[in-house]
Amino acid sequence: MNIELSDKLKSFPPFLFEELYRKERAERAKGRDIISLAVGDPDLPTDRRIVAEALREIKKGPNHRYPNTKGNERLRKAAAAWHKRRHGLTFHPNDEVSILIGSKEGIAHLPFAVMNPGDYCLIPDPTYPTYRTGAILSGGRIHDVPLLEKNGFLPDLGRIPKKVTERAKLFFLNYPNNPTGAGADLHFYKDLVKWAKKNEVVIAQDAAYCDIYFGEPAPSILQAPGARDVAVEFYSSSKTYCMAGWRIGWVVGNGPLVRALNQLKENIDSGPFNAIQNAVAYGLDNHEKIVPPIRERFKRRAEEFCAALHSTGWKFPDPQGSCFVWARPPCACSSLEAVYFMLEQASMLTAPGSGFGKYGEGFVRFSLTEPDARLREAARRIKALDWTKLK
């Protein structure tokens, strides 16, 4: 039988990195030692105290039963207590916090709770691709909002066309930003909240990298006056505690939106394993002991790696946070040409900026989620490259 797949599925943009991964596999098969800096999957193991808590919790029979879709009370309370310590904000653990099976899951589902066919979803360009998923599947229209270097990779709200804002329902953003490494300050969030209220647009700020900052602590959009009326913020244990494989995130903020997402999810999933939720709760309760060394590690990696790139003519503002360096190569070439050149000449896999959107063209994204020694070797290989060979 010839199974005809859905039009919606077919409408997903092609995966730009597929050809690149195929080439990487072919190079590895030839026995070449490829350093992969293409994806942001933290190499550091989860803190042993969190792992020990998970092991204790796995042995408890009640944890083997169905979890609660919105997450268990221990984790919701731990998340609320952490927000109080970190941002001075009080969230009701029952109504304003909901646990997710990784933040990606909540991000992909939120548009179903908010958007109707024909509504616009505003998505930054370059972007983390999952913001498109729910917008496409819910029949929405996408409007790409450029993140330009001259604006510090922040959106220029005044340039979003009126006819788009009139039909816009949802605006995804993420700071500290993947892929550009840019930060957003509270001043920006205050303006954004005013704009969102005026235009009646829901803001979904994705704070997956909120703890990988290199200067002042990254603020929360929910610290901006009135933000709770229009915004939710997504959080992730993946980068903060190096727990990407454990799949826990959470959403906080506007109660009706948090509850709407949870109501939707009650029809889809049954929440993550309670033992793992409790391990993340342990991480949140002990955040101030566990997280600073992780942040320091990424900061040192970023400093060393940026220094190597700068010394060989790459042009870019240093990242203010995240696990990424977003830089223009020292050649008059496209992102993809630069990436293929580095794969062939330096046995390094990196991500072409054009894969994150048309405004990513001209950039390359390096992920700092490989061990220190591998990153130093990558920096050495980059320094040895002769870009005049790329003609």
Ligand X SMILES: Cc1ncc(COP(=O)(O)O)c(C=O)c1O
In this complex, which beta carbon is closest to ligand X, that of residue 121 or of residue 308? 121
Using the rule CB under 6 A, which residue among 174, 205, 335, 369 binds ligand X? 174
- DSSP output for 79-93: HHHHHHHHH-----T
- Shortest distance, position 238 Cβ to ligand X, whole Å: 3
- Shortest distance, position 244 Cβ to ligand X, whole Å: 5
| Residues in 18-47 at the binding interface with ligand X, rule: CB under 6 A | 40
- Shortest distance, position 67 Cβ to ligand X, whole Å: 17
Nearest C-alpha neighbor of 99 from the set 288, 266, 294, 348: 266
In this complex, which beta carbon is closest to ligand X, that of residue 178 or of residue 277? 178
- Shortest distance, position 257 Cβ to ligand X, whole Å: 18
Using the rule CB under 6 A, which residue among 87, 104, 169, 287 binds ligand X? 104
In this complex, which beta carbon is closest to ligand X, that of residue 174 or of residue 277? 174
How many residues bind to ligand X according to rule CB under 6 A?
13
Which residue is it, tokens 């039963």?
65
Is 236 among the residues that bind ligand X (CB under 6 A)?
yes
What's the DSSP call for residue 230?
Answer: T
Between CA 234 and CA 128 the distance in angstroms is 13
For 22, phi then psi, to 5°, come to -60, -45
Burial category of 61 from C-beta neighbours within 10 Å (exposed 0-12, middle 13-18, buried 19 and up): exposed
Is 102 among the residues that bind ligand X (CB under 6 A)?
yes
Stretch that binds ligand X, among 53-61, 101-109, 191-199, 309-317 (CB under 6 A): 101-109
Nearest C-alpha neighbor of 242 from the set 44, 39, 378, 26: 44
| Residues in 110-129 at the binding interface with ligand X, rule: CB under 6 A | 128
ω into 176 cis (within 30 of 0): yes
For 344, phi then psi, to 5°, come to -75, -45
DSSP-derived pairing of the beta strands 97-100 and 351-352 = unpaired
Is 98 among the residues that bind ligand X (CB under 6 A)?
no
**Which amino acid, 326?**
W
Is 254 among the residues that bind ligand X (CB under 6 A)?
no
Is 134 among the residues that bind ligand X (CB under 6 A)?
no
In this complex, which beta carbon is closest to ligand X, that of residue 103 or of residue 138? 103
Between CA 237 and CA 75 the distance in angstroms is 12
In this complex, which beta carbon is closest to ligand X, that of residue 35 or of residue 244? 244
Is 69 among the residues that bind ligand X (CB under 6 A)?
no
CB 149 within 8 A of CB 174: no
In this complex, which beta carbon is closest to ligand X, that of residue 206 or of residue 370? 206
For 66, phi then psi, to 5°, come to -55, 135
CB 363 within 8 A of CB 335: yes
In this complex, which beta carbon is closest to ligand X, that of residue 133 or of residue 345? 133
Is 283 among the residues that bind ligand X (CB under 6 A)?
no
Is 244 among the residues that bind ligand X (CB under 6 A)?
yes
Long-range (24+ apart) CB contacts under 8 A made by 377-380 are 377/35, 378/35, 378/37, 378/305, 378/346, 378/348, 379/304, 379/305, 379/308, 379/309, 380/308
Stretch that binds ligand X, among 20-28, 70-78, 102-110, 145-153 (CB under 6 A): 102-110
Using the rule CB under 6 A, which residue among 36, 72, 98, 103 binds ligand X? 103
In this complex, which beta carbon is closest to ligand X, that of residue 234 or of residue 341? 234
For 202, phi then psi, to 5°, come to -80, 135
Is 238 among the residues that bind ligand X (CB under 6 A)?
yes
| Residues in 199-218 at the binding interface with ligand X, rule: CB under 6 A | 206, 208
Using the rule CB under 6 A, which residue among 178, 220, 347, 350 binds ligand X? 178
Which residues of this protein are in contact with ligand X, per CB under 6 A? 40, 102-104, 128, 174, 178, 206, 208, 236, 238, 244, 249
